[in-house]
Structure formats: structure tokens, C-alpha cells
Chains A and B, each alone.
Chain A
Amino acid sequence: MSRRILEHPVLGNLQDNKYISFTFNNKNYEGLESESIAAALLANGIRTLRYHEESGSPRGIYCNIGHCFECRVTVNGTQGVRACLTPLQAGMVIESGGKLPTPVRDWSAENE
């Protein structure tokens, strides 16, 4: 089932024929050039954009207009890029951030 809204009673119909390729976490996807990375991923059914640095819990878009920073991903090697504000370009390599090590806490849990 298409997640794109190609027909709309007031806003009119859309053509979606300018697809380009990109990768997200090493898998190939297609999206529309210059749409936001967040929109391209959601159109592909992807909601989880990263895993929380401390808890590892999955996170997706929240505000979708750049305020909350929940949607940050790594784009072509640059960390902390907001998926909701960044236009998709052909060949982009997009990756999720993941849980970071917490050695001090882990040590404390085992030894205190």
C-alpha cells in the first residue's frame, strides 16, 4: 500500500516519477529528489531513525520542522544531521546512530 498521498481533493494530484536512490543503514531505497530525508524514509515505511545514545530505545521524527532534534542521523559521514530538514540527494549514505558505551556505569553496576 502506497504511503504517498498522490491524490488530494484540495491540494491536487502529484506525479512521483523522479525517484533517486539512497542507502539507509546499508540498504537501498528510493525517494523523491529534494524531499526531506524523513519524508523519504517514512514513504518507505521506516519510522525508526536512530537509537537513543544512552538507553538504546528507538526514536523517530517528533516535530518534523527542526526544533526537537529527535530525528538526527548520519549523512555521508556527518553526524547529527536533522532528517526532517535535510533534502534528499541521489547517492546519499544515511545511517542511524546507536547506543553508546557507558563503561563507568557498567563498572559501577558490577562493582558497587
Chain B
Amino acid sequence: MNDVIIVGAGPAGLSAGITCAKKGLGVLIIDEYMKPGGRLLGQLYEEPNGSWWNGIQESTSLYEHAVDLGIQFQLNTPVNNIEKLDQSWVIYTDKHTFNTDHLLLATGAAESPVPVPGWTLPGVMSVGAAQVMTNVHRVKPGERGVIIGVNVLSAAIAMELQLAGIDVACLTLPKLNKITKNAAQPKDVLESLLHVSHMAPSPLIRFGSKLMKNDFMKKMGVTFYPKEGVKMWDIPIQLRKAVINIYGDGEVEGITSATIDANGEVVSGSEENIACDFVCIAGGLYPLTELAAVAGCPFYLIDELGGYVPLHNERMETTLDGLYVAGNITGIEGAKVAIAQGVTAGLSIAENAGISGLDVDIQHSIQSIELTRDKAYIQFHPEVKKGKRILKEQWKEYERSVKKLVH
């Protein structure tokens, strides 16, 4: 029996494990990937002070710290199921079954797919897949790629691909359909891009973003947006064109794009082919919550947090005794926020495991999450704080209803 079991060896899971181990708890971290670090592994970007945030280095140092503290790891180990039996959590994996009183789910996020005709061809992959191939495995996803989906993540990864010597032909949009919805609307995409504009060396985007703070200007911006796009890190970003097909005999050979008007409709006769040997689909991230669902957590759909999130409080406790969450399972944010959330989860677990005198530390750690969020360089969702407020209201509502039941 382990004092604490953590599912997910990403930034949240590692920092929670370190926090628990420092308080003297025995920790086991389980992850299905072969390396610790989770999505942090692939990250690579330049910070405002000119230094690089190197996800591999950050992962290694967290992992080494964890190992030094005696934390046990089970990598390459998918968790199939969890359930509560006789007051303790049972964790089922391919290899073993584990028990614990305190279970933290730090399962992170998954990428939303965007169906485009031809997207099952080998060579089409999620933008995160290309990131992991390039930065973690150091294998080129291809020589020349097209990225479908313009958002914070895809813009950052486009730059990372370039850094590794891979040609990115363009960033472009999927054709509007029932599923792609906002991701195919130039106006909405432009709005989301405003939140990475401070990273863009292109003065047009930087300057343009200041002009386009209101809806009317955004519409004008799309209308007058050059058909050939503007460039960010020298990569054309096409908002007036959409990919209508991915073609190739057995694997990707190119994409067909067409001009779309400000409402996202295809202008017929405007089709053109762009040759490439890989295509990345960037549909954004959503919290990976299956284990919280099988455990029986109540969920709320909060778009500002990226999708359905299990109900939890500021101390990262769910409504289920001994079940905690941290990291992107609680909403899509950067790795630094995940690390801060891991600390809070670790302290809550330690307190619930019987270690006293942690109240002030827990309050400080909750403030530290807020500070980290405020300072975040990359904001995946502009309204994340609103999402957190909604969640807080839901938790209060839950507490009120529990009190009613008790009385």
C-alpha cells in the first residue's frame, strides 16, 4: 500500500509527488508513456527575458528530484480502471493492481481532432504528435508540412518545427462544418490569435492586434486580411483560405485549399494545391478525464477551461473522499500553472494524510497558482479565470446541497 498514488508523470503529477515526498509520504507515480514529463516534454519556447523554456530539461530536473526523494515510478503502465473498495482506492493497470488512500489524477489533456477529408492518410497527425516526434524523439515528421488550425498551440509548434529545420508551408484553417465550427471562422480565429500576438515578430500582427480589440474591427480585419495571409516567424498564416481536402496515394502528398469569405464559405474556382509530405491538425486541447468519470466524479462543461472538468475545490480535492485532481484535467493551461497546482494537491494530500500545520502553506500555494496564471506567457484560453470562477460557484453550490442533505 502506497500513501499516495499519482496517475500521470507530467508537470502536475511530478510536482505533487515531490511535495508529498518532502512531507514524508510514500509516493508511486504511474504513467503510460515511456518517459516522465508528459506534455511538458515537447515544450520549447523563448521567454520574454530571452531564455528558453526547454520542456525536456524541466522534465528531467523534476524527475531527478522525484527519484532523489525516493518516489517510485511505474512508466509504460496504462491505468485501465479505478474504483473505491473498503475505503481505499484500487488502481488497475496492465501489470499490477495498486491500493492507496490518496489518489491524484494528473492525466493532463488530449487534442481535439478536426475531421478533414483525407485525414486518415498516413502523414496526417495531430500537431502535438509532430511536436513530440520533433523535440522528444528527434525524428522529422516530414520535410514540409501544412498545419490546419490556427491557435496558440499550433502557432507555437510551427515555430518549434522551423527551429528543427522542418519547413512549414503555412498555417491554415479547416473548412467550416458542424464539427469545426469556431475553429473555421476567421473572426474567431483572429480573436484567439490576439493572445499570442505579443510573441509575434511580425509588426503587422502585433500592431494589428491592438487595432482589433473590438468586434467591428475584427470583422474589418478579416475582410481586409490579405488573401495570401500574413507571416509569423516567416510562416504564412492564411485566414482567408481553408483546407478542403488532403490528398495522396497511400500517404500525404499535399492539400487542396480554397479561398473562404468572411463567413467561412468557400469561393468556388479558388482551389489550389500545396505540396507537402505531412499535415498537422490542431483542434486545441481538452481535459483528459476518463478516470475521474469512471470514479464517479460530477462534471461541468466549462468551455473556458477546454471542456468537461471534474468538480473540485481550490485545494484540488474532488467531491470523492481521497480523490484529487491537478494539471490540465482541471482545465487547459500552461505547465507552470500545472506545477503550481501539483504543489497545492500535494499539500492537501499531506494534510488529509494526517500531517498538521499545513494550512498556511496550502493558502500560499493557492495564491501561487493565481500568480502563476496571471504571469503566464501563453494563455490557452483567454477566459480561463472566468472558467475558474464558474467552477468555484459550482463547488459552493455543491457544498450547500451537501449541507442540506445532512440537516
Interface set of A (CB-CB < 8 Å, partner B): 1, 3-6, 8-11, 14, 34-36, 39, 42-43, 47-49, 52, 57-68, 84-87
A64: which of B32, B52, B126, B251 is its contact (CB, 8 Å)? B126
B120: which of A3, A36, A59, A85 is its contact (CB, 8 Å)? A59
B129: which of A3, A8, A59, A65 is its contact (CB, 8 Å)? A65
State whether B137 touches A35 (Cβ < 8 A).
Answer: yes
The answer to whether the Cβ of B179 comes within 8 Å of any Cβ in the partner chain is: no
Known: A5-B134, A49-B122, A63-B126. A11 touches B111 (CB 8 A): no
The answer to whether the Cβ of B189 comes within 8 Å of any Cβ in the partner chain is: no
In this complex, the interface size class of chain B, counting residues with CB under 8 Å from chain A, is 35 or more
Please report the C-alpha to C-alpha distance between residue A9 and residue B135 in the assembled complex, in whole angstroms: 12
State whether B125 touches A5 (Cβ < 8 A).
Answer: no
From residue A17, how far is it (CB to closest CB) to chain B in Å? 14
Nearest B residue to A64 via CB reads B129
Interface set of B (CB-CB < 8 Å, partner A): 32-34, 39, 44, 52, 54, 56, 76, 78, 110-111, 113, 120-126, 128-130, 132-135, 137-141, 143, 163-165, 250-251, 288
Residues on B with C-beta less than 8 A from A9 are 163
Nearest A residue to B46 via CB reads A10
Nearest A residue to B164 via CB reads A5
Please report the C-alpha to C-alpha distance between residue A9 and residue B44 in the assembled complex, in whole angstroms: 11
Known: A42-B139, A42-B141, A63-B129. A8 touches B122 (CB 8 A): no
Residues on A with C-beta less than 8 A from B143 are 1
Q: Is the interface of A mostly helix, strand, loop or mixed?
A: loop
**Can you report 14 residue pairs joining A to B where beta carbons are below 8 Å apart?**
A1-B143, A3-B139, A5-B134, A5-B165, A36-B34, A59-B120, A61-B129, A62-B126, A63-B129, A64-B128, A66-B78, A85-B33, A85-B76, A85-B78
Please report the C-alpha to C-alpha distance between residue A60 and residue B123 in the assembled complex, in whole angstroms: 7
Please report the C-alpha to C-alpha distance between residue A52 and residue B120 in the assembled complex, in whole angstroms: 10
Known: A8-B138, A35-B137. A87 touches B32 (CB 8 A): no
Residues on B with C-beta less than 8 A from A39 are 133, 137, 139
